[in-house]
Structure 1
Amino acid sequence: MKLSDYVVECVRRAGVRHVFLVPGGGAMHLNDSLGKSELRLVHNLHEQASAIACEAYAKVTDGLGAAFVTTGPGGTNAVTGVAGAWLDSTPTVFVSGQVKRADLKGNTGVRSVGAQEVDIVSIVKSITKYALTITEPESIRYHMEKALHLASSGRPGPVWIDVPLDVQAAKIDPETQRGFDPAELGAPANRRELERQVAETIRFLEKSERPILLLGNGVRLGRGQREMRKVIGQLGIPVLLTWLGIDLLPDDHPLYAGRPGAVAPRGANFAVQNSDFLLS
């Protein structure tokens, strides 16, 4: 199969149903594969809109968001949306076109060789969980599986896959390629250490006279809404919400104390200032 078809199919299998994009020549094979897929395409007038819509889609659907952009300004225009996804820990995948491998600047010392060439991976590396340019078609299965795993696991966030034009068109057999094993990322959290931290938290709660809970989007990202409601009911202490957690608790809940911060009702900030134990 064509590599671009495989990339699109990976995104579809990850649960994505809508893709946000601005087509371009540097992503022509990716665009063609999207057009032939079962995915619904949302065409934007600017890549910033695609990136921000991609993040909003992930938040609204409680799933993965996807955006496809072209070479050069197609990628750089999307950076603001990537930064938003990074700061809010939103699971998103960005796929960009890139100039042919023969036209990559490499170590030539010049800043650009191919048409609209920009080293987008270096630009987004600090605001993504995983970012790389696919230079070997035989590695696409490994990198797609790893990127999609990282986007939605642990603390979620954006990932970026950059695909040169000739790599997009390459013929591959994914079944013969090496896959990604999550065990490569190391051991999961130490359960004994987690139990110690929980016990310590309970001791602090028992000692405190004015404890308060501060809950936010991490509850949703961890699929912990049910446990959250149970804990609130058992503790019976005031609850504050962050702006991204605004819908975790109704405003008329008897324990709801507001949303603290630089722009907030005074009561919520007073609640924080007067508490002797803040649990977040």
Structure 2
Amino acid sequence: MNRYRNEFALIFCTLIWGGTFSATKLSLISVSSCLFIGIRFALAYLVFLIYIFIKQRSEGTRFPNLKENKGLYFLAFLLGFWMFLGFAFETIGLKYTTATKSGFLTGTLVVITPILQTIFWKKTPNSGNLLGVIVVMLGLFFLSSEWTEDHKFVISFRLGDVLTLCGAFFFSLYIIYVDKASKSCPLDILLLSQTLVTSVFSFGLAFLLDWSGFEPLFVRLDEKVMPALLYNALISSVGTTFLQTKYQKGISPTRAGLIFSLEPVFSAILAYFTLNETLDGTGLLGCGLILTGVVLAELLGRERSVA
């Protein structure tokens, strides 16, 4: 019974994450992309800060001394920096692509991660990972292609798609460093560093993009922005962090990975109902292949000892 409870909690987390693509896409009409990220994670940081302050007061604990633990704090900072880059590229990319495409392109991090592990840790990827990469690459080809009105098959890999794939790359780096940081850094430091670093750098990038003329700095706190901010900051950033931390340890990594691979499916379904987004036959084939590659990487790409 506990296993089903744990799996349901992770499915709920995945559903929430899938909804962030549509919520963010709607809000970008009324706020610049990096300003949205900055406000979102500033809110999440304040919530975590209050929670940790109350927790430390009740337990009589405090953070490790900075001078004596510079390496620990640097690792926590680096983790937050990779998170910032992931969200920056993904959110800016959302301005130039659909929420449906963004969800599936971000999902490719499942096959990017073992490739980066091979580069950093010199581990040869097994056949499951390689098969997943091949299928995902084929899916990306179809997802970025379309039939023109004169019946020509053309590649249409746009700026938003490229930026979103870059975001998936940095999220993969984040996943690799989470594995290292979580073994040495207290959870309280990780929660605060990720949200604070992401927020501060996002505000800085928002002003830089405005100065460069790439994206003007603007915000209208209307009926689109406020619900999206609250959804992404409180429900997605804070709520799912609590649920994932509490319940993921109760099921195997393989099962957790398979559940998380449903995120692009949920994003596509929610984008259909909230944004009226649809895909043609070629796009659907591409999405199906990407999902298949992700699942293959999860099922066949892990060591049997953790399955």
**TM-score, normalised on structure 2?**
0.23
The structure, 1 or 2, with the larger RCO (C-alpha pairs under 8 Å, 6+ apart) is 2
Of Structure 1 and Structure 2, the greater helix share is in: 2
Larger Rg: 1
Q: Which structure features the higher share of strand residues?
A: 1
